[in-house]
Amino acid sequence: MTYEDMVYESTKKALNNFENIKECIQGLYEILRITLTTENTYFNMGQDNIEALYENLLELMVNELGTVEFMKKLKSAEVDLDLPLDNLLK
């Protein structure tokens, strides 16, 4: 496999991952919308958090130097990936 092929496949996978993340965020919002009324305080807090999640994801993706440094820290286990969701992920 050539370098160009690897870059193409990696880019294709990254775009697919991004689309999956967008679908997940949209799904979270739909669940929130179906479950709570738009006047509900928890709905508004959840909506704010979902919007912040998406904005931070976009900012992370366009920050090339920061993302490269983040990936180095991630690979050397300097970043804690644990996200306690009431043991949902275990």
**Token pair for residue 62?**
């366009």
Residue listed under structure tokens 């305080």: 41
Is pTM beyond 0.85? Reply is: no
Identify residue 60 by its one-letter amino acid code. L
According to the model, what pLDDT value does residue 47 have? 95
Q: What is the pLDDT along the chain (90 residues), one digit of tens a residue?
A: 899 989 899 889 989 999 999 999 999 999 999 999 999 999 999 999 999 999 998 998 888 888 888 888 888 887 777 777 776 555
Helices and strands (DSSP H and E) totals, the chain = 3, 0
Q: What confidence score (pLDDT) does residue 49 get?
A: 95
Residues with Cβ < 8 Å from 60, sequence gap 6 or more?
66, 67, 70
